[in-house]
Chains A and B, each alone.
Chain A
Amino acid sequence: MLAQQTRVQDTLANSLDYLLEGCQIISFDFRYLYVNTTVAKQGKSSKKELLGHTMMEMYPGIEKTEFFAKLRDCMINRKLSVIENEFIFPDGSKKWFELRIEPVPEGVIIFSIDINAKKATETKLRKTYLQDEVILESIGEGLIVTDQYGKTTMINRAAQEMLGYIPEEVLGQQVITWLSMQDESGHTILNRDRPLSLVLNQSKPLMNITSYYIRKNKDRFPVNITITPIIIEGKLTGIIEVFRDISKEKAIDKAKTEFVSVASHALRTPLGIAKWYLEAISGEKYLHDAPDILINYLDEIYKNNERLLVLVRNLLSVSRIDQGKIKDVPKKIDVIEHIKLIVKDMQIAALKDHVSIILTIKHTDFPPLYIDPLRFREVLENLITNAIKYDTKNKPVEVIVDKKTNLLSISVKDQGIGISEEDKKKIFSKFFRAEKAISNNTEGSGLGLYVTKSYVEGWNGSITLLSKENKGSTFTIHLPIAPIPKT
């Protein structure tokens, strides 16, 4: 029995000796009673040097450390404790250990694990984290972070300043409960329609959304918002929202729009006067004996004056669109008859440019369309005028009316210079003119398609473009065939 016990003890001691964890037994007078190989290595010493000596002898100053205090505590109170301790060696070097100090009859047993690498990583991470936090805190954009349920987990300083909340008021709260959002006309946006909810539901980012936020003091201000989902290992864990106050941009834009509006009105008077006088000159007998060159020159002046008038008219339309002042006066129209009429009127202009217009009606059975006839005309005229203008080879322009999935589609197709892939992206923006359009010396203000698109979208329609350089372009507007509202 005793032999068996001794064998077990030997085996145990042997196992302890080669344990990867450090193991040491310390007597009540702080002497090393037992140390395994790992501890000797951890202590930058040897079993021989340590055994029988006190800790204070081996590591002077150890009695002042937190580790020593825990050790003493364990000896007195006989309670287990686990600590992370940075050990300072006599040569001044330092190393982190996780220590489990347990009472044993001889004193205490200490198991030690070298956690230096872990600590170094932790320190590095902490540093990165702090650095990130400083960056996020100091950016000018407002920043709100939420968890996957939309609860606020971070709000940076800029967001606090813009919205008027302090972190204590919002952390842990659903963003939608403390931050209210409105549209342009002041209507509160429903929670389910809010970009934040959409991103949380669909895990897809939303960029550059313009909306209005309500400050704590109930003021509202325009914002540009970008929300990105945080996806870790394929799972949505929250969102990051970055937003900025765009009050200044809005104010500048408004001032600009108003300026354009006032300037265009002011420009119309002198241009209109010049127009009438030029018409009066050509209409009367003054020019009967005039040389051709004078008539040509007057014609040139007149044409350019008309050009300016068109530009001013478009500028006014744009400024009114931007001011949200465009009001449709819809009327019930027979769409096919209307298109026929517009095309007929445009034929005359087209013939001057030696271009013919072919009208193809693939579908005739449309209910009456409820639309502003003047704007509808403006849209078609814009598209047809463009087609004629950019149709440099004098090939016919085609207007095709069709019905596709309950939408009325009107296509205007030319075989002209076409639009490059790069320019397609910007073709509907304000003041944009395609590279080729400019180099071909065609006149234009870069406003027609912007106005066209704005109108069509105002009718819940859309406009699409198919184009190939040097082959031609097809602009198609799609309009819902809606029943006439009862008035």
Chain B
Amino acid sequence: MKKKQIIIAEDEPAYRNLLKTKLIDEGYDVITVINGEELMTNLKKNTPQLILLDLIMPLKNGFQVLEELKKIKDLKKVPVMAITNLGQDEEINKAKSLGIDDYLIKSDESFYDVIRKIKKLLSKL
């Protein structure tokens, strides 16, 4: 069976590497990008099963990415999980209004809870 693909868009290497290592370990195909622009370029070649999206990134931030994704037919249905340190109501609400599937605050969630949630979301697909 073909591995499910996850794209991690995260500018912070420590977060990026830890997630990548663990998710590969869990049996997923993982691609990492370091900003929103790189993510959009990559999405032209790949249509992943899940996008893990940091909201504060250089070049193109997560909110801008979400706006663009909404407009691309093939990508509209790809689930997006925000993994961010922005935890205020207005930020969460803004992301939700842009069609985010789940919103996780990094410093509030335990690492394993995040992994569990990713696996759960992917298992439904």
Interface residues of A (CB under 8 A from B): 265, 268-269, 271-273, 275-277, 279-280, 283, 309, 312-313, 316, 320, 325, 327, 329
What's the minimum C-beta distance from B92 to chain A, rounded to whole angstroms?
9
What's the minimum C-beta distance from B16 to chain A, rounded to whole angstroms?
10
CA distance A93 to B19 in the complex (A): 103
CA distance A265 to B85 in the complex (A): 7
B31-68 interface mask toward A, CB cutoff 8 Å, 1 = contact, 0 = none? 00000000000000000000000000000000000000
Query: For the complex, would chain A's binding face be called helix, strand, loop or mixed by DSSP majority?
Result: helix
Residues of B within 8 A of A275 (CB): 107, 110-111
Query: A283 contacts B112, CB within 8 Å?
Result: yes
* A271-B107, A272-B106 given; A329·B15 CB < 8 A: no
Residues of B within 8 A of A327 (CB): 89-90
CA distance A313 to B110 in the complex (A): 15
* A273-B12, A273-B15, A279-B112 given; A320·B107 CB < 8 A: no
Given contacts A272-B15, A313-B107, A316-B87, 19 further A-B contacts (CB under 8 A): A268-B85, A268-B106, A268-B107, A269-B85, A269-B107, A272-B85, A273-B12, A273-B15, A275-B107, A276-B18, A276-B106, A277-B111, A280-B18, A280-B22, A283-B111, A283-B112, A320-B88, A325-B88, A329-B93
- Please name the residue on chain B nearest to A283 by beta carbon: B112
B125 within 8 A of A: no
Instruction: Give the interface centre of B15, B18, B85, B114 by most chain A CB atoms within 10 Å.
Output: B85
Which residues of B5-26 have CB atoms within 8 Å of chain A's CB atoms? Answer: 12, 14-15, 18, 22
Residues of B within 8 A of A312 (CB): 107
Instruction: Identify 28 residue pairs between A and B in the complex whose beta-carbon atoms are under 8 Å apart, listed by A's number.
Output: A268-B107, A269-B85, A271-B107, A272-B15, A272-B106, A272-B107, A273-B12, A273-B14, A273-B15, A275-B107, A275-B110, A276-B106, A276-B111, A277-B14, A277-B18, A279-B110, A279-B112, A280-B18, A283-B111, A283-B112, A309-B107, A313-B108, A316-B87, A320-B88, A325-B88, A327-B89, A327-B90, A329-B89
Query: B12 contacts A269, CB within 8 Å?
Result: yes
What's the minimum C-beta distance from A310 to chain B, rounded to whole angstroms?
10
Interface residues of B (CB under 8 A from A): 12, 14-15, 18, 22, 85, 87-90, 93, 106-108, 110-112, 114
CA distance A309 to B114 in the complex (A): 17
- Please name the residue on chain A nearest to B25 by beta carbon: A284
Residues of A within 8 A of B106 (CB): 268-269, 272, 276
CA distance A460 to B3 in the complex (A): 54
- Please name the residue on chain B nearest to A375 by beta carbon: B89
What's the minimum C-beta distance from A273 to chain B, rounded to whole angstroms?
4
What's the minimum C-beta distance from A311 to chain B, rounded to whole angstroms?
12
For the complex of A and B, the 5 pairs showing the least CB-CB separation, nearest first, are A272-B107, A276-B111, A279-B111, A272-B106, A273-B14
What's the minimum C-beta distance from B117 to chain A, rounded to whole angstroms?
14
CA distance A313 to B108 in the complex (A): 9
CA distance A271 to B106 in the complex (A): 10
Query: B15 contacts A276, CB within 8 Å?
Result: yes
Instruction: Give the interface centre of A268, A313, A325, A327 by most chain B CB atoms within 10 Å.
Output: A268
CA distance A316 to B108 in the complex (A): 13
What's the minimum C-beta distance from A460 to chain B, rounded to whole angstroms?
20
- Please name the residue on chain B nearest to A372 by beta carbon: B89
What's the minimum C-beta distance from A302 to chain B, rounded to whole angstroms?
10
Residues of A within 8 A of B15 (CB): 272-273, 276
CA distance A279 to B106 in the complex (A): 13
CA distance A283 to B93 in the complex (A): 32
What's the minimum C-beta distance from B102 to chain A, rounded to whole angstroms?
17
- Please name the residue on chain A nearest to B85 by beta carbon: A268
CA distance A399 to B2 in the complex (A): 54
What's the minimum C-beta distance from B24 to chain A, rounded to whole angstroms?
13
What's the minimum C-beta distance from B109 to chain A, rounded to whole angstroms?
9
Residues of A within 8 A of B18 (CB): 273, 276-277, 280
CA distance A316 to B111 in the complex (A): 22
What's the minimum C-beta distance from B57 to chain A, rounded to whole angstroms?
12
- Please name the residue on chain A nearest to B19 by beta carbon: A276
CA distance A320 to B86 in the complex (A): 13
Residues of A within 8 A of B112 (CB): 279, 283
CA distance A265 to B55 in the complex (A): 13
What's the minimum C-beta distance from B107 to chain A, rounded to whole angstroms?
4
- Please name the residue on chain B nearest to A273 by beta carbon: B14
Residues of B within 8 A of A313 (CB): 107-108
